[in-house]
Amino acid sequence: MENNFTLIIANKFDYCIDSIIKWLKYHKLNYLVIDPDKKVQINKIKLNNQYIDIELNIKGKHVALDQIRSVIFWKGRIEFELPAIQKEELVKNMVIALDKFLKRELNTITQYIYNELNKKRIFGLCITKNPNKLILLSKAREVGLKIPNTLISSSDKIIKSELLQQELITKPIQEIFNFRSKKEIHTSFTHFIDVEYTNENKDLIFPSLIQEKIEKKYELRIFYFNKEFHSMAIFSQTDDKTRTDFRDYNYEKPNRMVPYTLPNEIKKKLKKLINVIDYHSCSFDMIVNMKNEYVFLEVNPLGQFDLESVTCNFKIEKKIVEYLKS
Amino acid sequence: MVYKLFACCIPVKGYRRSIIVDTQRMNYFIIPNGLYEILINNECYSPEKIKKELEFKYNKVINEYFEFLLNNDLIFSCAIEQINCFPKLSLKWDAPHHIINAIIDVNEKSQHDYNSIFNQLSNLLCKHIEIRFFNKVTLSFISEILLYSDYKSFQSIDIILPYSIDLSIVELNKVLDKYSRLTNIVIFNSPDITEIKNEGEDKGQVLFIKNKIVDCTSCGEINPSSFTMNLDFFCEVQTFNSCLNRKISIDVTGQIKNCPSMAQSFGNIKNTSLENVVNNKEFKCFRNIKKDDIEVCKDCEYRYICSDCRVYVRGHKDVFSQPAKCKYNPYIAKWEGEKDYVSIEQKGS
């Protein structure tokens, strides 16, 4: 492999990664993608008293640690090519224990490689688990950002009594539920809770998150990268007509989306939060409510940025490549 | 409470009238120059303040203006403290392609090495290619050429060919199925107009048209149907030529040119590399002729949504003169065929 290249650890078919690669090619910069289909062999990880050396074999390409200039961590992971292990003679419980053991062995190796890669110039975030959304929400509150009043409860009664006081929405606590079969697709989005919903008078429900419904002037999509905020306002406060037939409307008359400049006070708070959670780049979802207050909804370390990049002509992909080669 | 223009809606001033280009919904609105002045001279708009400044003489007109702007979703009401939160769009343009669009012309005498041409274009990260056959051609020949287009930088490929009785729709669809980047197959000289759309979302289509494209001189027409209202184009034409920027073409004899209609060749594809041509200063000079530099066009309200032509121009050998096939006179704001139209030659600025 050539020297000074960018290692990309990503999933297949990611629009953001594809557009970054276009700019890498345009600047004739070398890069190598590790996606889930490319299993990695370890030539060597040398830890001795003089130096550290890592050499991986990625589908026939031999990659040494010091050839790598920069790394993009984007929803991918390193997976190793493994030999078949004879387990036929082992008892079932032994197989389970052995698998667990081998998995931990591999994990330690990958974590160590990530640790060394993290010393390079980085875009994205090396994460093995998605950060806990509730912890993030509480940290946003701690830095002084306004958050929506939130309740998690497994009591139907408590939720109903909240509902008497204000309009509520419900959404998944951590991630969107996605189910695809040949016949149907189920996806969970944010939903309003109908005041008159019934639950056959059973009090115990699955623990669910509910939040106050915020009347919004506009939504903000904010992509933070290299100490710069790229913000876009989305005028999604639609009238009744569009609510009933949203898709049709969206096609003919997409919501207005324009560049936005955050007030310094909000930028300061977001920067504080970024420092606390230690992200290189991330995207924020916020709302400006009818009282012109900024309400934090969530932060995503690997949020897609292509929509604001194109709509607001931010050229984020181009800036990322300029950052990676600098 | 005041109003602000959405940043994606951009006013452009012409000699007699102006337009607002809605770069997001890909539309444009004709407005009087009076409204343009109001929009451009203020950060935000208060109808009451504007009426007062005009000493209440134009209240009705001002009301109509704001009704129009609101009805078309061009402005929004903005809290005073948020006026500075809504900046203008950056109009800087760039693209990760050394060549965006390539045209390859073919007739019965052409001897192109398609494998080599496609490889070279792919190295230049070319996004779209258009292959125009002026002679009768078989689908198996087209299929053979397209084999070389696999694993290249091309996002879309258009094929243009003359009508022939042996063209079977089943066979055409097979070609479309096989090459996912094939976007359009246009068949000219057809006895009927037919459009065959494929069911799949990403699949191309076959278009039979009656137009008689005989050679490259049937190019350079300028009319509203060729307007482009998206943001990328709007940004590009602020600095670059709306027809020739990052384009290249190979004519029927293999001559490499800015466009097939141009006389000047930068060498033959048989012995000249496309990369050398792309880096040639003379080849690149047309790219920088923007609409604001072109006579008549620079006074036209349509200049940032309009295509251009640097071959068929009005002034004899004047590269900065208006496209000859333009049918609009911005000094009277009329299209050819409209009542009281006179041409630029009869009535210029």
CA distance B307 to chain A (A): 21
Neighbours of B159 (CB within 10 A): 26
CA distance A40 to chain B (A): 24
**Mean of the pLDDT values across residues A311-318?**
97
Given a cut of 80, is residue B196 above it in pLDDT? no
**Mean of the pLDDT values across residues A183-188?**
70
What would the pLDDT profile of B240-261 be if each residue is shown by its tens digit?
Answer: 999 999 999 999 999 999 998 8
State residue A251's pLDDT score. 62
Q: Which residue of A has its CA nearest to B25?
A: A253
Interface of A with B in 118-177 (CB under 8 A): none
pLDDT category, A252, cuts 50, 70, 90? low
**B8 interfacial to chain A (CB closer than 8 Å):** yes
Cα B311–B315–B320 angle (5° rounding)? Answer: 65
The minimal CB distance from A292 to the residues B7, B79, B88 is found for: B79
Q: Which of B4-13, B137-146, B314-323 comes out lowest in average pLDDT? A: B314-323
Higher pLDDT among residues A152 and A161, named by residue: A152
> In chain B, what residues touch A317 (CB-CB under 8 Å)?
96
State residue A170's pLDDT score. 84
Most confident of A234-243, B94-103, B311-320: B94-103
E strand or H helix at A275, and its extent? helix A264-277
Q: What are the beta bridge partners of residue A146? A: A295
What is the CATH code for A130-146+215-326?
3.30.470.20
**A31 interfacial to chain B (CB closer than 8 Å):** no
Q: Please judge whether A233 and B86 are an interchain contact, meaning their C-beta atoms are less than 8 angstroms apart.
A: yes
State residue A135's pLDDT score. 95
**DSSP letter string, A209-259:** EEEEPPPEEEEEEEEEETTEEEEEEEE----HHHHHTHHHHHHHSPPEEEE
**B333 interfacial to chain A (CB closer than 8 Å):** no
Which one of A217, A258, A260, A265 would you mutate to disrupt binding with B, by most B Cβ within 10 Å of its Cβ? A258
Given a cut of 50, is residue B296 above it in pLDDT? yes
The minimal CB distance from A254 to the residues B7, B25, B85 is found for: B25
**Mean of the pLDDT values across residues B122-150?**
94
Interface of A with B in 199-258 (CB under 8 A): 233, 235, 253-254, 256-258
pLDDT category, A39, cuts 50, 70, 90? very high
Q: Please judge whether B86 and A313 are an interchain contact, meaning their C-beta atoms are less than 8 angstroms apart.
A: no
Q: Which of A188-202, A247-261, B178-192 comes out lowest in average pLDDT? A: A188-202
Look up residue A166 and give its DSSP letter.
S
Which one of A313, A321, A325 would you mutate to disrupt binding with B, by most B Cβ within 10 Å of its Cβ? A313
Given a cut of 70, is residue B349 above it in pLDDT? no
pLDDT category, A245, cuts 50, 70, 90? very low
CA distance A87 to chain B (A): 42
Given a cut of 80, is residue B239 above it in pLDDT? yes
The minimal CB distance from B24 to the residues A256, A292, A314 is found for: A256
Q: Which of A3-12, A122-131, B26-35, B281-290 comes out lowest in average pLDDT? A: A122-131
Q: Please judge whether B24 and A263 are an interchain contact, meaning their C-beta atoms are less than 8 angstroms apart.
A: no
**Mean of the pLDDT values across residues B31-55?**
94
> In chain B, what residues touch A233 (CB-CB under 8 Å)?
85-86
Buried b (16+ CB within 10 A) or exposed e, B286-316: bbebbbeebbbbbbbbbbbbbbbbbbebbee
State residue B214's pLDDT score. 66
Classified as helix, coil or strand, A137 is helix
Classified as helix, coil or strand, A180 is strand
State residue A169's pLDDT score. 84
pLDDT category, B8, cuts 50, 70, 90? very high
- Burial class of residue A206 in the structure, from the number of CB atoms within 10 Å of its CB (0-12 exposed, 13-18 middle, 19+ buried): exposed
Neighbours of A281 (CB within 10 A): 21
What would the pLDDT profile of B75-99 be if each residue is shown by its tens digit?
Answer: 999 999 999 999 999 999 999 999 9
State residue B58's pLDDT score. 94
pLDDT above 70 coverage of chain B, percent:
97
What would the pLDDT profile of B315-342 be if each residue is shown by its tens digit?
Answer: 877 889 999 889 999 999 999 999 999 9
State residue A9's pLDDT score. 96
Half-sphere exposure of A222 (CA within 13 A, CB side): 27
pLDDT above 70 coverage of chain A, percent:
92
> In chain B, what residues touch A310 (CB-CB under 8 Å)?
231
Given a cut of 50, is residue A148 above it in pLDDT? yes
State residue A248's pLDDT score. 46
> In chain B, what residues touch A235 (CB-CB under 8 Å)?
76
Q: Please judge whether B25 and A292 are an interchain contact, meaning their C-beta atoms are less than 8 angstroms apart.
A: no
**A312 interfacial to chain B (CB closer than 8 Å):** yes
State residue A240's pLDDT score. 46
Given a cut of 60, is residue B162 above it in pLDDT? yes
pLDDT category, A247, cuts 50, 70, 90? very low
State residue B169's pLDDT score. 86
Tally of residues, chain A: 326
Given a cut of 50, is residue A31 above it in pLDDT? yes
**Mean of the pLDDT values across residues B284-288?**
93
Q: Which residue of A has its CA nearest to B90?
A: A313
> In chain B, what residues touch A257 (CB-CB under 8 Å)?
8, 24
Q: Please judge whether A315 and B24 are an interchain contact, meaning their C-beta atoms are less than 8 angstroms apart.
A: no
What would the pLDDT profile of B9-18 be if each residue is shown by its tens digit?
Answer: 999 999 999 9
Most confident of A177-191, B279-293, B317-331: B279-293
Q: Which of A12-26, A172-186, A264-278, B70-84 comes out lowest in average pLDDT? A: A172-186
pLDDT above 90 coverage of chain B, percent:
74
Which one of B82, B98, B122 would you mutate to disrupt binding with A, by most A Cβ within 10 Å of its Cβ? B82
Q: Which residue of B has its CA nearest to A233?
A: B86
Given a cut of 50, is residue A239 above it in pLDDT? no
**B92 interfacial to chain A (CB closer than 8 Å):** yes
State residue B193's pLDDT score. 81
**A17 interfacial to chain B (CB closer than 8 Å):** no
Contact status, residue B303 vs residue B309, Cβ threshold 8 Å: no
Residue type at position B238: Q
Q: What is the CA radius of gyration of chain B?
A: 24
Higher pLDDT among residues B236 and A199, named by residue: B236
Contact status, residue A126 vs residue A132, Cβ threshold 8 Å: no
Q: Please judge whether B89 and A26 are an interchain contact, meaning their C-beta atoms are less than 8 angstroms apart.
A: no
The minimal CB distance from A253 to the residues B25, B86, B92 is found for: B25
Q: Please judge whether B94 and A315 are an interchain contact, meaning their C-beta atoms are less than 8 angstroms apart.
A: yes
> In chain A, what residues touch B25 (CB-CB under 8 Å)?
253-254
Q: Please judge whether A256 and B73 are an interchain contact, meaning their C-beta atoms are less than 8 angstroms apart.
A: yes
Cα A252–A258–A261 angle (5° rounding)? Answer: 165
Higher pLDDT among residues A309 and B150, named by residue: A309
Contact status, residue B330 vs residue B342, Cβ threshold 8 Å: no
**Mean of the pLDDT values across residues B101-119?**
96
pLDDT category, A242, cuts 50, 70, 90? very low
**B90 interfacial to chain A (CB closer than 8 Å):** yes
The minimal CB distance from A312 to the residues B82, B84, B89 is found for: B89
CA distance A285 to A305: 12
State residue A127's pLDDT score. 78
Confirm whether pTM is higher than 0.80: yes
CA distance A151 to chain B (A): 31
Contact status, residue A208 vs residue A188, Cβ threshold 8 Å: no
**Mean of the pLDDT values across residues B286-295?**
95
State residue A157's pLDDT score. 85
List chain A domain ranges. 5-124, 130-146+215-326, 149-213
CA distance A145 to A54: 43
pLDDT category, A243, cuts 50, 70, 90? very low
The structure tokens listed for B261 are 């209609």
